[in-house]
Amino acid sequence: MRISAGLPTGMEGLTYPIPFSEPETILTIAQAAERLGYDSVWGNDHMTTQHYVRAEYPVAPRFWEPLITYAFVLSHTKTLKVGTGILVLPMRRDIVVVAKQIATLDHFAKGRLEIGVGLGAYREEFDALQPGSTIKRGDILEEGVQALRKLFTERVASFEGKFYRFRDVELWPKPYQAHIPIYIGGNNANNIRRAAAWGDGWLPAGMHVDTLRAGVKVLREMAERAGRDPAAIEVCPQFVVHIGRTHAAAVERFRHTQMSKHLISLQKSTLKGQGSATHEEINLIGTAAEVVDKAMAFRAAGVTHLLGLYFAVNSVGELLEQMQMFAEEVMANIQ
């Protein structure tokens, strides 16, 4: 099972305080992930500040564009891979430019790049960038994935959709990788369907192990009906992590982090319908032994990659401590 760490490209004000994500901090976290043996780092994608963050903070958060950020990260690391968790396609109008950026970065990365795409957790961001649009974000996502595949595989590609259109585009060079992985993000059943149809993996977030197990079963059944090998589709959930010396200490610390507030804000979108389970029960929060047990349960449920683990902390120093603790006391016992 692969294990990767979250990179705070767009997390100030959401999951971490302001300030938090200095450019130097981003590089420090990435280099620590490489040194500690994490497979990759995964950053998120925001274009404008969410309403509740504006209400809470008098200053604006810094949201770094992930693909450009990765150009710097890759130049300061040697083996670490990078991934977008997620790249919000509905906020990116020119899919040919996106394809060119991905292909370029993949060459300079020598294949150390993976792509997760999705709708985005906050509809308000899409409305700010596309005011008055009546096109469904799900339609945009589906068109975007299909358009990217065409651009990455066909010598001269054309596409005619509701949102994306291009004709006779010769995108060259193609990505460095013969097949660049594209994961579909989101907990909704529609995203399981999209992953089974077009994706290299399914990327849910904060999902209870029982719900995840049921989702994996549906994913595999859909993949088989589509004539695909279910084993070739990765299951890559994101979780929040906080390790304490006691269970009570871990829970208490988690509840006093900005990450806890963020998860509450997502209960109306990404985490809608998670049932009666608490965030502490769902996520990797507890002692190291408890976190090992949870991780093993996720692996038994079909997880192949604990993708972009986000550590619940309020300072960079604490984040680095949690990353090291997870690597030494958890990672070594589940790989």
CA distance 48 to 33: 28
Please report whether residue 76 resides in a domain: no
Please report whether residue 248 resides in a domain: yes
Contacts 24+ apart (CB under 8 A), 143-149: 143/95, 144/89, 144/90, 144/92, 144/95, 144/98, 144/117, 145/89, 145/117, 145/182, 145/184, 145/194, 145/198, 145/199, 146/198, 147/95, 147/99, 148/95, 148/98, 148/99, 148/102, 148/182, 149/182, 149/198
Please report whether residue 225 resides in a domain: no
CA distance 64 to 82: 15
Segments forming the whole domain that contains residue 284 = 1-39+242-335
Residue 277, classed as helix, strand or coil, is: coil
Residue 268: predicted pLDDT: 67
Which uninterrupted H or E stretch holds 184?
A: strand 182-185
Looking at the structure of the chain, the number of domains it has is 1
> Which pTM does this prediction carry?
0.95
Residue 277: predicted pLDDT: 84
Please report whether residue 299 resides in a domain: yes
275: left (phi over 0), alpha (psi -120 to 50) or beta: left
Which uninterrupted H or E stretch holds 150?
A: helix 137-153
Which uninterrupted H or E stretch holds 247?
A: helix 247-255
Please report whether residue 55 resides in a domain: no
Please report whether residue 48 resides in a domain: no
Please list the rounded mean pLDDT of every run of 10 residues in the chain (335 residues): 98 95 98 98 97 94 98 98 98 97 98 97 95 95 97 98 97 98 97 97 96 98 97 97 97 94 74 75 97 98 97 97 98 89
Please report whether residue 103 resides in a domain: no
